[in-house]
Amino acid sequence: MKFTYLWLYFVAIIASLGGLLSGYDTGVISGALLFINETWDLTDYMQGILVSSVLIGAVIGAATNGILADIFGRKKIIMATAIIFIVGSVLCALAPNIIVLIISRILVGLAVGIVNFVVPLYLSEVSPKHLRGTLVSLYQWAITAGILFSYMINSAFAQAVFNWRWMLFAGVFPGTILLVGMMFLGDTPRWLLSKNREDEARKVLQKIEPDVDLDEEVNHIKATLNQESDDTKSKKIVLKKWMIMPAIVGLGIMFAQICTGINTIIYYAPTIFKIAGFDSNLNAIYATTGIGVVNFLMTIVAIYFTDRLGRKPLLYIGLIGVMLSLLSLGCAFQFEAVLGANLKWVAVGSLVTYIICFAMSLGPVGWIIVSEVFPLKIRGWAMSMCTVANFAFNFFVVSSFPIMINRVGGAITFWMFAAVSFLCILFVYVFVPETKGISLEQIEENWIKGIKPRDF
């Protein structure tokens, strides 16, 4: 790492704590659910509502805060999400009944929805083009760190009094660190220039990228901002014909990321392990912690290769692996009678393979692509739209999973996800451009010129 980029990496790490919080609140419910169900005997339907309630808030957060990020800046919105995370975690821990817990989880989801678009947006706009993929990947890595952290917290409090309450409360600590850390960071140069705050933009650029030619960089960003100066409203830009393709790419990659089943694994891994034959809540949570470790470590692969190998090769490798592991997991449940006690180990192997393939591809690369393909003037709004779609897909998948696995069985459920994975491979081949090493401004110019995704 060059010394000149140390501040840039510090900025990226602090901002990425938003991803850690998102991952924590995604993963913590997996273990907490086992004990919440002992406190209040929940039906399959209520379990689905409780787990997916965070996604209701996430859809609202993503839908309402894209424009706010463009108005008030990326930094202030990230700080606001930290406060919401802290308050929501406290309310979850103190919930006197299931209704209050669901409402509190919706509040936490509001912050999850905001942070999932504003942090990748912030990182993409402070990153040099040759490091953009790596730094935006840090966000996904932070999500996996948050998921792992939540699994470790679940293991630590599994045998404690008020176990699930402590599990949900622990999110206060990373939320506080994010809030304090963001106080020392600046906003993005691109947003500052969009608000005619050139002096501040130059100071931020000089700090995060000391070797840059300030005049050239500032002029380049200004040229992009002025390119469509006659369009004063986002709607006029969205309605332009050339915007159809980036919209397809953004929404399609969100579909691929979620509808290949990742959050059925993250939210329900302990439940899946218990169905597969693990005899206690504690053993199921320990097995899930192993999944979290693999998820965390394999995301490093994406961070290393995304600016070396490229986005599309990682997507191909990952999606093929995801499809095969889902087929294997479905077969394990289909031939449960034959496998007997070995079922749980086939399930573990299939889930580990799935997580390896997802963590090195769709997880980080999906957010990288979404942060890159939209034009600057509407990037905040467009990423908000994609994040809304992400959480809408997520809500449907997560809320329906307990019902599906109990009504049609594990085999058909996981084979359906495998079929979706195959369709997503075709989508990547036809529609997704390779954006490695291309500036955000050049990507926008390619769309305007009508260059096909495979010719980028």
Distance, CA of 33 to CA of 56 (rounded, Å)? 18
pLDDT for position 155: 84
Q: Map tokens 């990425």 to a residue.
A: 16
Task: Name the nearest CA neighbour of 189 among 243, 122, 239, 133.
Answer: 122
CATH topology of domain 3-187+228-455: Growth Hormone; Chain: A; (1.20.1250)
Contact yes or no for 26/148 (Cβ under 8 A): no
Task: Name the nearest CA neighbour of 22 among 207, 147, 167.
Answer: 147
DSSP 8-state class, residue 341: G
How many H-runs (helices) and E-runs (strands) does the chain carry? 21, 0
Model-wide pTM > 0.85:
no
Element housing 415 (H / E): helix 410-431
Contact yes or no for 314/362 (Cβ under 8 A): no
| Longest distance between any two alpha carbons in the chain, whole Å | 70
Neighbours of 150 (CB within 10 A): 29
Give the CA count within 13 Å in the CB-facing half-sphere of 183: 8
Instruction: Find all residues with CB under 8 Å of 216, minimum gap 6, and list them.
Output: none
Contact yes or no for 14/78 (Cβ under 8 A): no
Query: And the tokens for 37?
Result: 């169900």
**Which phi and psi (to 5°) does residue 347 adopt?**
-65, -45
Q: How far is CA 30 from the centre of its chain?
A: 17
- Domains of the chain: which residue ranges? 3-187+228-455
pLDDT for position 1: 47
**3-class state of residue 242 by DSSP:** helix
pLDDT for position 232: 46
Q: Map tokens 């907490």 to a residue.
A: 32
Neighbours of 160 (CB within 10 A): 12
CA 17-22-25 angle, to 5 degrees, is 125
Give the CA count within 13 Å in the CB-facing half-sphere of 93: 18
Provide the residue-wise pLDDT of the chain in tens; the chain has 456 residues: 455 567 777 888 888 888 888 888 878 887 888 888 888 888 877 888 888 888 888 888 877 766 778 788 888 999 999 999 999 999 999 999 999 999 999 999 888 888 877 888 888 788 777 777 777 777 778 888 888 888 888 888 888 878 889 999 998 988 898 999 898 888 888 888 888 888 888 888 777 777 777 877 787 777 777 764 555 444 444 557 888 889 899 999 999 999 998 888 877 777 777 777 777 777 778 777 888 888 888 888 877 887 788 899 999 999 999 999 999 988 888 887 676 667 778 878 888 899 899 988 998 888 889 878 888 777 767 877 887 888 889 888 888 888 888 888 888 999 999 999 999 999 999 999 998 888 877 888 888 888 888 878
Distance, CA of 223 to CA of 207 (rounded, Å)? 22
Length of the chain in terms of residues written: 456
